[in-house]
Amino acid sequence: MSAGSDSVQAELPLPAYYTPYYAQFRGQTFVIQAEDQAVDTTPSMLSVLEGIQDLLRHGIRVVLVFGKPGRFLEELETRYGVRRHPETNRLVVPENALGRLAEERERIARALASLSETIGMAATVLPCSVVRAERRIGHQSTGVITGLELDAVRHVLDRGELAVLGFGGQTERGEFLHIPSVGLAADLAVALAAQKLLLLAQTDGIWVPGRKGGLQQLSFADLEELLCLLTRHRPDSSPLVPRELIPKVHAAIRAVAGGVPQVHIVSYRRLLEEVLTRTGVGTMIERLQSHHVEYARPEDLDEIHRLHTEALRYTTAGGTPFVKPLERGELERLLPWTLLLTHRGVLIGKLHGQEVPGVPEALCIGGFVVGEDHQDSQQGQLLLSESLERFRHRGYRQIVGITASPRAKRAFLRVGGRTPEELSPWQNTLLREARKRYLPEEQPDVELFLFDPEEPQK
């Protein structure tokens, strides 16, 4: 089953902001898994396909593996008694449900092919015989993958088309078995040596308890951290990882352990934001983490200036940039006090410190920028925590930060910052000067945060 023409997708001019990311991944393979809400309605499927079309247009090879809509899973449970295995968390599918499963697979495949044709995207839906399977003991008609017809998949990718596979596989006797899409996507990503596996979910990644209560997004994790997450529980003894995300976490572990460099768990609504921005919006998993915080060097100035300039687009309602505009020369002067957060050699965040004239051991941090205004993400907290520690090691005991940004304020609070009830004279002077570039009605939102020295461990 195919949609669109046999020609390679026509390439469009690269958007300026996404250019380095498109260029970085051109010619690479992404495997994208979509289920639940992502395939539940025409608008949700269209949203996913339009994001994929953008990737194809810029030379990225894409395989889409679709799963079951949430409402169909409810039908399987009520009508056929489908349940989850208590140990593996896989669906136990009785044989009398296979016909209905094959019917639903065909319906979704037709819908995806039709929508692809509507938007002018070449796509081929591959048959379930591409996935060879056998029954899994204790799981009735749910199977395990024994082989993949990779040549059939590569042939579609080589034509510049979207390759589409659905849940399910076929035995040597030609029998249809239920194969979960999430596991199929992980195996395909490993077998195709994909650069990325994207597991689309209803939420932006994994959320974990924060240091000061509430939940915070886990922006990145390595294999060891992900394994530890599966063993953690909430106060009510429920798993820390929500039940609906556990299969995706298992798939992420399989993929990363199998050599896939990066796995992303992200909302299906924000596919491109996750892979084509500095910081992403979901949870990125790698075998070994590659985030580093280091002092800036002269050769970093171009990237620092670019990131600082990008940040000026985030403003108050009155149009005042949250980060203070600085000329290139000013950023160069601040290099000895500038710390950078990089991931795989890409600059994703930075901040600098400035000594307070006449106040020994006092420092004011500024220029706190994390790509896409994500200061309150895990990346922002990592940059802040490491920077505060480095500055304290240099002898600064009184460290403050001033901001009107709600995101930066949340980040300051999460690393131990506080707004003092009374300000010292020098703190008052700093705050008064900082407020001058804001409109009168915005000035009360500009606050000073004090980062108290860490108490020595006993």
Alpha-carbon distance of 369 to 192, in angstroms, equals 36
pLDDT score recorded for residue 84: 86
Give percent of the chain with pLDDT exceeding 90: 60
Structure tokens that stand for 455 in this block: 């108490």
Q: Which residues contact 452 (CB under 8 A, 6 or more apart)?
A: 416, 418
> CA-CA distance, 430 to 401, in Å (whole number)?
10
Count the neighbouring beta carbons within 10 Å of the beta carbon of residue 30: 24
| Average pLDDT of span 117-126 | 96
Mean pLDDT of all residues belonging to the chain: 87
Query: What span, in angstroms and rounded, lies between the C-alpha atoms of 160 and 154?
Result: 10
Report residue 278's pLDDT band, with 50, 70 and 90 as the boundaries.
low
Structure-model confidence comparison of residues 153 and 16, the more confident one: 153
355 DSSP β-pair partners: 363
User: What are 298-342's pLDDT values in tens digits?
Assistant: 999 999 999 999 999 999 999 999 999 999 999 999 999 999 998
Domains of the chain by start residue, with CATH: 2-289 (3.40.1160.10), 292-451 (3.40.630.30)
**Residue-level pLDDT at 283:** 84
> Does 274 or 23 have the greater pLDDT score?
23
Which residues are within 8 A (CB) of 28 and not within 5 positions of it... i.e. 6 or more apart? 60, 61, 194, 195, 196
* Strand 398-403, strand 362-370: pairing: parallel
Instruction: Encode pLDDT of 155-192 as tens digits.
Output: 999 999 999 999 999 999 999 999 999 999 999 999 99
C-alpha span between 74 and 85 (Å, rounded): 16
**Position 210 confidence tier, pLDDT thresholds 50, 70, 90:** low
Residues 390 and 339 sit within 8 Å (Cβ to Cβ): yes
- Residue 90, pLDDT score: 83
Which one has a higher pLDDT value, 112 or 83? Answer: 112
Predicted confidence (pLDDT) per residue in 241-272, tens digit: 877 788 898 999 999 999 999 899 988 888 87
The answer to which of 67-76, 284-293, 300-309 has the lowest mean pLDDT is 284-293
State which amino acid sits at residue 318.
G
HSE at residue 307, side-chain half, CA atoms within 13 A, is 26
